[in-house]
Structure 1
Amino acid sequence: MKLQHTLGGLEGLGPVWTETRVFVEEWEKGIFGIHTAMMALSPQLPLPKTPSVFRTIWTWADLRKGAESMNPFDYFKYRYYEKWLGGISGYFVANGYITQAELDAKTEEYYADPDKPLPTGGATQIDERVIQYLVDGDSPKRDVDPKPLFAKGDVVRVGNPPTVEHTRLPGFLRNHTGVIEEVYPGAYVYLCDTGPDGVGEAMACYCVRFDPEELWPGNAEKNFFIYADLYAAYLTAPAELASAA
């Protein structure tokens, strides 16, 4: 798995710098607005039909996939909204909204004249749909009731599924054992399929308790636990794992 998928518990990563400003540069507001409009216009949402050329699905998951599928050296080189820009641009090219040549030409056009006015426009109906989306949101909970595989108190083993673009499984939990602390009611998805990572159709989710000594033997503080909310796809019973091996 890629380095950017497994930062938790990594030693020697270096000092942590926290930026308190939501937007560091003015253009970042535009990127956030584009992403929000794409989510609001995504056709799978139960919102009124709205005239728009945007016809493909876009979710928070797609945004994260676009960033985390990057080469690790690029991932750590670029700032937060620069990764958003790259992921959104790649999505538009991959889905046929613009060609790479057209994107490159438009980029060079603004490099040559940075003060050139940006395009304006937008339909009232689109604005209204975006506002409704921001009010309603998009819940990952689904109206199905899968039978939970585990119960509170069960010992479970975290798997090590392959990841290509994005995962919801922290790297430091892989191949470790924990205890089911809570079984959440209902079923949940991750807004888009994560491929070989295993999260697709709606499934049960669990709160799993981990002993830090299990995660970092000989290098953990005492008398506390770590809790993680995990999809069923990431968990198996230790005996089943042993028999499968």
Structure 2
Amino acid sequence: MSRIHDMGGRFGDGKVEVDAPDAPVFAEDWHARALAVTLACGALGQWNLDTSRHAREKLSPRDYTRFSYYEKWMAGLADLLVAKGVLTREELTKGHADGPSQLAERCLVAENVPSALSKGGPVDRPSDVAAKFAPGDRVTTRARARNTLVDGGHTRLPTYAQGATGTILRLHGAHVFPDSNAHGLGEAPEPIYAVVFDAAELFGAPERVGDEVILDLWQSYLSPA
């Protein structure tokens, strides 16, 4: 079964609108607050980036399609806060906690925000997994874009690229494997490659013949063509 978020290359969704170069960073004031709350909660250390992505993916199809971008963020965050025991559903409903949090000492205070943001969240790691491919190699992606470790779990292989054949453009080194990391199974770093595909290979009827799509894909998603 698939999840509603995996909609790349689908007919009928209309043109992708790109913001003007001079557009504000946040279209509405509350968008900035949504980002701030998400970052502050992430600093509590109860989940990782891949876990938070999966929380948004698990929103019901009805909510996912009607929510705006930052509404998806807030809905996924609310689900995570309850699932990880940071808050109860009743506390969320009331708008305040019933008492002091055991995570209070991990609070991201304003003066520490610049240094926290400047560090970013690097996901490159040393790995014992040897690279199987090199630039120029032809590879085919997994026949089904699914997590093979957890049924219905997070994966970064989009459905539109399943079973497609492309060419290795470059090796990026080893990075945290999201299919494992999202579910508390460890970072399991492995090689990740930039793979270039002819758009016709992915979509059958590309908007322009000769267009290419480059995807960053983990080694587990690939086999020799």
Q: Match for 1:126: what amino acid?
A: V
Q: CA deviation at 1:122?
A: 9.7
Q: For the structure 1 residues 14 and 95, does the alpha-carbon distance in structure 2 shift closer, same or farther, using more than 3 Å as the test?
A: same
Work out the CA distance in 1 between the residues paired with 2:106 and 2:213: 48
Counterparts of 2:106 and 2:200 in 1: how far apart (Å)?
57
- Deviation per residue, 1:24-80 (Å, 9 max, x gap): 3333322211112233442xxxxxxxxxxxxx23x3333322211112221110111
Structure 1 residues without counterparts, runs of 5 or longer: 43-55, 108-120, 239-245
2:163 to 153, 170, 175: 175
The structure-2 alpha-carbon separation of the partners of 1:149 and 1:82, relative to structure 1 and needing over 3 Å to count, comes to same
Q: Which moved more, 1:21-30 or 1:140-149?
A: 21-30
Per the alignment, do residues 138 and 216 of structure 1 end up closer, same or farther by CA in structure 2, a change over 3 Å counting? closer
**Map 1:214-225 → 2, pairs under 5 A:** 214-217=201-204, 221-225=208-212
Q: State the superposition RMSD in angstroms.
A: 3.0
Using structure 2 for the length normalisation, give the TM-score. Answer: 0.77
**Partner SS for 1:162:** coil
For residue 38 of structure 1, give the secondary structure of its aligned residue in structure 2: helix
The answer on whether the counterparts of 2:177 and 2:218 sit within 8 Å (CA) in structure 1 is no
Aligned residue number for residue 146 of structure 2: 162
What is the SS of the residue equivalent to 1:175?
coil
**Over residues 84-134 of structure 1, what are the superposed CA-to-partner deviations in whole Å (9 max), with x where a residue is unaligned?**
111111111111122112222339xxxxxxxxxxxxx99997334433211
Residue 113 of structure 1 corresponds to none
Q: 2:99 is matched with which residue?
A: none
Report the structure, 1 or 2, having the larger helix content: 1
Aligned positions of 1:115-134 closer than 5 A: 126-134=109-117
Query: Counterparts of 1:233 and 1:215 in 2: how far apart (Å)?
Result: 19
Distance 1:40 1:95, change over 3 A: closer
Determine the C-alpha separation between the residues in 2 that align with 1:174 and 1:15.
23
Contact 1:66–1:165 (CA<8 Å) still a contact in 2? no
The higher radius of gyration belongs to 1
Residue 142 (structure 1) shift? 0.9
The alpha-carbon distance between structure 1 residues 65 and 21, as it changes in their structure 2 partners (threshold 3 A), is farther
For the pair 1:152 / 2:124, whether they are aligned, the reply is: no
| Secondary structure of residue in 2 paired with 1:83 | helix
Provide closer, same or farther for how the CA distance between residues 64 and 232 of structure 1 changes in structure 2, counting only shifts above 3 A: same
Report runs of 4+ in structure 1 exceeding 6 Å deviation. 121-125
* % identical aligned pairs: 29
CA–CA distance in structure 2, aligned partners of residues 209 and 140 of structure 1 = 22
**Paired AA for residue 193 in structure 1:** N
Note if contact 2:139-2:223 (Cα within 8 Å) is conserved in structure 1: yes
Distance 1:129-1:39 versus aligned 2 partners, 3 A rule: farther
Alignment counterpart, residue 122 of structure 2, candidates 117, 139, 145: 139
Q: How much does 1:17 deviate?
A: 4.4
Distance 1:218 1:102, change over 3 A: closer
Measured in 1, the distance between the counterparts of 2:137 and 2:164 equals: 14
Query: Any idea what SS the aligned residue of 2:71 has?
Result: helix
Q: Does residue 28 of structure 1 match 2:15?
A: no
1:210 and 2:197 are equivalent in the alignment: yes
Identify the residue that residue 101 of structure 1 maps to in structure 2: 90
- C-alpha displacement of 1:190: 4.9
